[in-house]
Chains A and B, each alone.
Chain A
């Protein structure tokens, strides 16, 4: 019995040691590359946010970096492989749609580290870190803000493709509106592109025609087109993913900037930064990292020029809701 126990402890120690050694030997990266979803690194939303997160790590740790902007979905794998063939040791892929391609390449190149925004693998892949977000909570905050600000009791949402993260945004938004304004009506529409500002705008304008006086735009440049058009038509708008005051509304220079209430932020930048940092310091591990209200992974952006137009009672209510989400007292029901 005692011998067995000693053996077991010995085995355990050896295992620990081996693991320790393998961690020490874990090749720390010097080159990191990013492959966008169909779209550009200056799209003002999630591709840009991911790129900024990567670049923050690149500057801080003195890495070499590159990116490829994907032009069509069938190029995902080719673009990933292009970076790997140039010696990039870590690849960031952006977006749910790149999920399959990332997995395939990760299995083909087990020594390359991957981080993907908006995708979680079940079962996990050992060299991919999935970065996922509680979009429903971000949407809930946006919905609450919309529901508190609407006068017509009709609010709109122009969304991108109907994929899980976007669906969570929508459901959270609807729940948020209903939470603060049970008799408000939500008009929401999916548009099957993340890169079509013109269609986003026309969808927003038709929601305004239907009486909506707050528009939430959630879906790449399609959503940005929607809120830009709606803001210029004079209604309140809410952005998505990052603080669109800084991007879509060019720090206030774009017309309509004073109508931007806030943005339902997903801190994709922080998540990507964290993933690269982990790969640099050797603590990178495959799996899933969830970002939500509890760890400040999501939240509302500053109000900027709308600061004075938003009553203090609304701000107080929003804070209460944010705290409730953080503490888990408020559930989005998604």
Chain B
């Protein structure tokens, strides 16, 4: 078989099998699965609006998926994308509404860069702890998530709250910091989508076409050999985590500058956690993140119409997603079902 086809065969079959099992569950709950899936797929890409909304939902998954994939490539399990996402969002919203009087060509890049740096700093802390002290990054990224979530929650509710709002949220960012909408004000797709696609291509180039990327991957594959080859293992770990953090941070930035124009408290997006699934489905390949993020974003987006049409619980989508990941993780099952060796 053609190698690329082999690579993507298992993920495709995993998705297919999960959808079949999902169909059985839908039938058991007393709803026609054809109706439900028609709603789901029409909600994903059945109309101009649906397709655009799927791109909107895929945008943060592209970036947080990259954040986890970069970690995997560097031999690091970055569970901290959620926290890095929040820190990026927080920094960009602060720059977005407090810095006044700048022209858009300066204000927007400033908010983007500050947000990305904020995520990078947050990501590099567990990287540094791992490189210097050998502290496991899984533990520390999870802990950094809690700190970020509660910190952002506190700050939004007490320090940066917009007193005029019905829910706890910051004031809206200034128009000069907004990422432009690509199809006019009626559609929510913003330039952050292009930025995310560019980030995917950039990451692919960096990891597979540069010396730096080679070093990061070597450190990930075999730190001993990397050290023996004269590579800076500690430095590469910190760098990989910082890059991952920057990507997750940018995801949060995009949601703020492009989509919501504000940061609400108790805004449990879950993009950072779902990102682990997105990266797994993509087998940590940056290019693979694109279809993977579109699938996740599409399912999340299509779930709404599925519920409108059939009244079925939106949680079903989470079940299907979980099944996909189980089949990826235990790909022996898929190989056995479809007789692939």
Residues of chain A at the chain B interface (Cβ within 8 Å): 33, 40, 66-69, 71-75, 78-79, 82-83, 85-86, 96-97, 99-100, 119, 161, 163, 192-193
Contacts and interface: CB of A to CB of B under 8 A. Distances in A.
A72 B267 contact: yes
B255 interface: yes
Contacts of B307: 66-69
Given A68-B304, A68-B308, A192-B153, A97 B268 contact: no
Given A33-B308, A68-B304, A74 B167 contact: no
Contacts of B153: 192
Given A66-B308, A69-B307, A74 B266 contact: no
A99 B168 CA distance: 12
B266 A193 contact: yes
Nearest to A66: B308
Interface string B308-322: 110101100000000
In the A-B complex, the 9 residue pairs with the smallest Cβ-Cβ separation, listed nearest first, are: A99-B166, A66-B308, A97-B167, A82-B304, A100-B166, A73-B264, A69-B314, A68-B304, A68-B307
A66 B270 contact: no
A65 to B, nearest CB: 9
Interface string B268-293: 11100000000000000000000000
Interface of B: 43, 49, 53, 153, 165-167, 188, 255, 259-260, 264, 266-270, 304-305, 307-309, 311, 313-314
A66 to B, nearest CB: 4
Nearest to B270: A72
Among B43, B153, B307, residue most surrounded by chain A Cβ atoms (within 10 Å): B307
Contacts of B309: 66, 86
Given A66-B309, A119-B166, A193-B266, A74 B260 contact: yes
Contacts of B260: 74
A66 B308 CA distance: 5
B49 A74 contact: no
B145 to A, nearest CB: 16
Contacts, number: 60
A41 to B, nearest CB: 9
A210 to B, nearest CB: 25
12 contacts: A66-B309, A67-B307, A68-B308, A71-B314, A73-B167, A73-B267, A78-B304, A85-B49, A96-B167, A100-B165, A163-B167, A192-B153
Nearest to A75: B304
Contacts of A82: 43, 304-305, 308
A33 B267 CA distance: 24
Nearest to A81: B49
A86 B266 CA distance: 29
B56 to A, nearest CB: 8
A186 to B, nearest CB: 24
B152 to A, nearest CB: 13
A79 B304 contact: yes
A71 B267 CA distance: 10
Nearest to A194: B266
A66 B309 CA distance: 7
A78 B53 contact: yes
Contact of B311 (A66, A96, A119): A66
A72 B329 CA distance: 28
Nearest to B165: A100
B269 A74 contact: yes
Contacts of A78: 53, 188, 304
A193 B264 CA distance: 14
A74 B308 contact: no
Contacts of B308: 33, 66-68, 82-83, 86
Given A69-B307, A72-B270, A192-B153, 6 more contacts: A33-B308, A69-B314, A74-B264, A74-B267, A75-B304, A99-B167
A161 B265 CA distance: 11
Among B153, B188, B308, residue most surrounded by chain A Cβ atoms (within 10 Å): B308
A67 B266 CA distance: 23
A40 to B, nearest CB: 8
A134 B185 CA distance: 39
A56 B312 CA distance: 20
B97 to A, nearest CB: 16
A71 B321 CA distance: 16
A79 B304 CA distance: 7
A145 B259 CA distance: 47
B167 A100 contact: yes
Contacts of A67: 307-308, 311
